[in-house]
Amino acid sequence: MRCRFNAAALIVDDLHTNLTILSALLNSFGVEAMCADNGEEAVELVRRAEKQFDLIFMDLEMPGMNGEETLRSIREEIGTPYAKNVPVVLCTAKTLDAAEAERFSKSFHARLTKPVKLAELESVLARFLAKP
């Protein structure tokens, strides 16, 4: 039986297919998903904070503002306690070498490889959303 979480997530990816798939997977776990198709839109959604997200899933390679730049903008430019602490999961199809993996582990809370595997997603959700 699949875990259910009462939570909200933001998915940031420039490919509509990736947004659709991850959104459907999150919904199957009871996670309400909002989508942004670029970094600028994601920053604005976090800045407005009409809805605080429990978790953000961030693509690495996007045109304009990439995932690292988007995360930096959320953490430093918005700078609220929420923006500085919301867990952000790197979602990438890119194979990372050891140096990249180390660098990203200092910025992102976790990493999922695309295509996202259900068991790995559930593990990430449980890690950040499970209530004690």
Residues 78-131 pLDDT 10s: 989 999 999 999 999 887 777 777 777 788 999 999 999 999 999 999 999 987
Helix (H, G, I), strand (E, B) or coil at 113: strand
**What are the helix (H) ranges across 37-117?**
39-48, 67-72, 81-85, 98-107
Residue spans of the domains in the chain: they are 7-127
> Model's pTM, two decimal places?
0.93
Q: pLDDT-based confidence at 132, cuts 50/70/90? A: low
Mean pLDDT for 54-59 is: 97
CATH tag, 7-127: 3.40.50.2300
